Amino acid sequence: MSGAGAAERELVDGSGIRVAVVAGQWHDVIATGLLEGAQREIERLGATAQVIPVPGSFELPVVAKAALESGFDAAVALGVIIRGGTPHFEYVSDAATSGLTRVAIDTGKPVGFGVLTLDDEQQGIDRAGLPGSKEDKGAEAAHAAVATAVTLRGLRDGAGASAS
């Protein structure tokens, strides 16, 4: 979901859905914007959230996995990775992305992907849901996680099954 092509965040009934918001602490301004957007969206959908801070994006997968295994219905992973002059950006971006994908598949629970991989700080400010931002990636990631948890709940309850 990006820019003009982003789908509307329709209202889903997230009541009873417990969300772990695993929030990287690197880059305070952008990270705070992402977190506030995720929290607003989780509240709007009627789900409940617990924020679990981690140092940075590299730590997101292991903590998201532990949270989901402890009983949360969904996780929202929030982080900021800004390209620098070394290959560090590629390693951390790949580790976070691959790791979070694996967490979702291994646990069978949704992980909203709110990790910003940026060329510069301004791109993050534009996407962090701050006053004047063009996008709210924290809210988008939270919506994806809650909406997917609601879909999975429906499938488990038989509401999403179709006759063949």
Q: Is 107 exposed, middle or buried, given 0-12, 13-18 or 19+ CB atoms closer than 10 A? A: middle
Active-site residue (options: 43, 55, 88, 161) = 88
Distance CA 46, CA 61 (A): 25
Q: How far is CA 149 from CA 33, 72, 84, 138, 156, in A?
A: 23, 10, 35, 17, 10
Active site residue 88: yes
Residues noted as catalytic: 88
